[in-house]
Structure 1
Amino acid sequence: MQEISYEIDCMNSGNKMKLWVIITVSVSLSVLLSGSFLCCRMQILNQKGKKDSGVDLLSFDFNLSSNASDNESNTTNNPRKGGEKEVELPLFSFASVSKATDSFSECNKLGEGGFGPVYKGISLGGLEVAVKRLSKRSGQGLEEFRNEITLIAKLQHRNLVRLLGCCIKEDENLLIYEYMPNKSLDFFLFDPNKKEMLDWGTRIRIIEGIAQGLLYLHQYSRLRIIHRDMKASNILLDGEMNPKISDFGMARIFGGNEVQANTKRIVGTYGYMAPEYALEGLFSVKSDVFSFGVLLLEILSGKKNTGFYNTDSLNLLGFAWELWNTDRALELKDPSMGDSSSSTLLRYINIGLLCVQENRNDRPTMSNVVSMISNELSPLPRPKHPAFSTSRNTARNTDSSQNCSVNGLTVSMLEPR
């Protein structure tokens, strides 16, 4: 009996040891797993904290990055100079951007486009900036956001708006630009009262500046860029009314030997799109030339290309063409811009009509346009029929006799701004 009792005690003692081992191992594993979880959690929080962090916009010294833009802006007349040094784009913290704009208050809202709202921000040093905030309802998205960062950060010219930095935090995407106190060209050009501030000299300077900016994009920058959305609202004006091309979300890069490209996703604005792009999806430097021609005629006339609803002309192009063919081209002039040289005005109208010719092969390049503007005594060719300039009566007759689509291409995206 004593032996049996001893064996039972041994068994109980062994079971207790096993139980203690199991408890010890379980507790140790729990502690180890808890510690690992806490470590992982801390790493995730630290990484998230790093993502949310960034350069302080309020105290950032933008003068340190101005040399790169100055170097490249002087390459307009020399395509071999500059463009070798990468421009570093600061990544600002969301907290500092929010503080600079007073939490994106309505008082600081400058306007809103296809990308989203734009706000005015002020640094501690008093520097004013423009903050473009990607709207969740925007027709444009992350592709256009990345496109603009990739392109404009590398393109620096006095007639291109300067991108100062960006901010990326979770679902927030913001671009920070130099502030343009006089807003956009359309703010003055199509307002009956404000357009008087655009006198003849100012309008010529704006036309020349836009031409120089486009020439740089097409020929002298290290990347050949097709803007694809040239229009009055995308021309910003600085304190001295000098023009700067903005909004590169739709722009495309061309290779060195690439002449034209095709897309099924047509983006842009009605009234400024070249016919081969609007109808067939073909775009090239000549597409931008067409848009420039429309913009040039709008600047001279003070009228929108699409604002001819109660006339026989479908648009400004048709109206200008009719006046040109009846030797009444001077009637296109906006009376609010004051005195101007009749011969110079006729020359600029001629250049505008050359740019909007229906056949893209007939249109000049921006290099030709700049040459035409600067060489006032050189003769100009006579323009051919502009695109989209059929009279309204002719268009009605055509519609009644034909009921078919021009082609099978669907316009998948347009930005009516």
Structure 2
Amino acid sequence: MVPVVVVASIGVVAVLLLLIIYVTRKKRPLKALRPSIVGKKRSLTYEEVKEMTNNFARVVGEGGFGIVYHGFLNRNEQVAAKVLSHSSSQGYEQFKAEVELLIRVHHINLVSLVGYCDDGNHFVLIYEYMPNEDLRKHLSGQCASSLLSWESRLRIAAETAQGLEYLHIASKPPMIHRDVKSTNILLDELFQAKLGDFGLSRSFPIGSETHVSTNVVGSPGYLDPEYNRTNWLTEKSDVYSFGVVILEIITSRNVIDQTRENPYIVEWVGSRLANGDIDNIVDSSLVGDYDSSSMWKALELAMSCVSPTSSGRPNMSQVASELKACLFSENSRKGGRSDVESKSSNELSMSNGLVENPHAR
């Protein structure tokens, strides 16, 4: 009789254990994917995120991923908490991709991931806070207190180029950002540029393989036409998008403006260059306060970046080097010392198209 009772007891316990496992998995269907994103970055609970953001009191941004809130980590470190919306077209896979990428990469011109929350159905990315918002807001005049000089624009472009160069060359594995645009170039308290939003980033093959075949994603106006046509993604797709950003920096005009004869900025600038109408390309708010040589070099560089075919575009090492030269030229005109020159030689030295120490932190 005793053995029967023991067997029955064991059976009840086994059923209970199976029931617990089933319920747990049902409530947290993504749990099996999650161990791969655990790293050195701090993992927070959703309650900790609520406390950190004062119950999501201050909104500092909004995008396809969800809403971004201001917060304080450890009571004194300002952070930005990007909360995945349940209605977002971007899902857990992109959340996971961004965490895994930012755990691996460390660069002075890439936004740092401070931590993340992967708690039940709550997914939050926690970044260093960038108080001067994004480049687009400054170029469009939304930040009335700040008119970016030509020197500042070149420095921001050069720093962003160095961040992209790091992704393409020094990251392990090399990465393609896939969503380079002015709203993803963020500015810290010193107006140092940092590239953010890595949810669409992809690794790309090295060696004999030259591209990744993938569904087309990106932002209208910045999208590489060759990639859009062939579904073949290469690092030159980022180069195209960055070329569009340089055109924004030069003109301060919208990437797409349906009121223009040529709505897309690449076509608009190209048509004016073809007609010799150069004066109306440069942002009038600069009122001629720029080194003309560096301006035209930057314009030529931008147009080479937006070549219709990837083979006609420079790589990001070449782009970064050219922008650095433009910045030195502008500062020589002003008889001053550039911000770039004041940085360490490690941060800026390039040789034979390769970064000697590509800002790894």
Q: TM-score, normalised by structure 2?
A: 0.79
For residue 45 of structure 1, report the CA deviation from its aligned partner.
Answer: 11
Correspondence list, 1:80-99, <5 A: 88-99=40-51
For residue 116 of structure 1, report the CA deviation from its aligned partner.
Answer: 0.8
Residues in 1 aligned to 2:319 and 2:135: alpha-carbon distance in whole angstroms: 21
For residue 87 of structure 1, report the CA deviation from its aligned partner.
Answer: 6.3
Judged with a 3 Å threshold, the aligned counterparts in structure 2 of structure 1 residues 310 and 41 are, in CA distance, closer, same or farther, namely: closer
Correspondence list, 1:1-80, <5 A: none
61, 64, 68: which one pairs with 1:118? 68
For residue 311 of structure 1, report the CA deviation from its aligned partner.
Answer: 2.7
122, 125, 131: which one pairs with 1:181? 131
Judged with a 3 Å threshold, the aligned counterparts in structure 2 of structure 1 residues 330 and 213 are, in CA distance, closer, same or farther, namely: farther
Residues in 1 aligned to 2:163 and 2:238: alpha-carbon distance in whole angstroms: 11
Deviation by residue 1:273-309 (Cα, 9 ceiling, x = unmatched):
00011222111011000000000100111111101x2
Judged with a 3 Å threshold, the aligned counterparts in structure 2 of structure 1 residues 224 and 35 are, in CA distance, closer, same or farther, namely: closer
Q: Among the aligned pairs, what percent are the same residue?
A: 34
Residues 157 and 323, structure 2, Cα contact 8 Å, conserved in 1: no
Q: Which residue of 1 aligns with 2:118?
A: 168
Correspondence list, 1:125-140, <5 A: 125-140=75-90
205, 222, 245: which one pairs with 1:272? 222
Partner SS for 2:104: coil
Partner SS for 1:156: coil
228, 235, 260: which one pairs with 1:311? 260
Which stretches in structure 1 are left out of the alignment for 5+ residues? Answer: 1-20, 49-85, 378-417
Correspondence list, 1:8-407, <5 A: 88-104=40-56, 107-191=57-141, 194=144, 196-257=146-207, 258-263=209-214, 265-307=215-257, 309-338=258-287, 339-376=289-326
Residues 82 and 126, structure 2, Cα contact 8 Å, conserved in 1: yes
For residue 310 of structure 1, report the CA deviation from its aligned partner.
Answer: 2.4
Q: Once superposed, what is the RMSD of the aligned Cα atoms?
A: 3.2
For residue 25 of structure 1, report the CA deviation from its aligned partner.
Answer: 9.5
Judged with a 3 Å threshold, the aligned counterparts in structure 2 of structure 1 residues 293 and 325 are, in CA distance, closer, same or farther, namely: same
Q: Which has the larger radius of gyration?
A: 1
Deviation by residue 1:327-382 (Cα, 9 ceiling, x = unmatched):
332321112245111221111111111100112111111111122223459xxxxx
Residues in 1 aligned to 2:240 and 2:10: alpha-carbon distance in whole angstroms: 69
Partner SS for 1:271: coil
For residue 142 of structure 1, report the CA deviation from its aligned partner.
Answer: 1.0
Judged with a 3 Å threshold, the aligned counterparts in structure 2 of structure 1 residues 29 and 181 are, in CA distance, closer, same or farther, namely: same
Judged with a 3 Å threshold, the aligned counterparts in structure 2 of structure 1 residues 327 and 122 are, in CA distance, closer, same or farther, namely: same
Partner SS for 1:151: helix
- Aligned amino acid, residue 95 of structure 1: E
For residue 88 of structure 1, report the CA deviation from its aligned partner.
Answer: 1.4
Count, aligned residues = 318
Judged with a 3 Å threshold, the aligned counterparts in structure 2 of structure 1 residues 123 and 246 are, in CA distance, closer, same or farther, namely: same
Q: Which residue of 2 aligns with 1:69?
A: none
Residues in 2 aligned to 1:366 and 1:313: alpha-carbon distance in whole angstroms: 28
Judged with a 3 Å threshold, the aligned counterparts in structure 2 of structure 1 residues 38 and 290 are, in CA distance, closer, same or farther, namely: closer
Residues in 2 aligned to 1:299 and 1:312: alpha-carbon distance in whole angstroms: 20
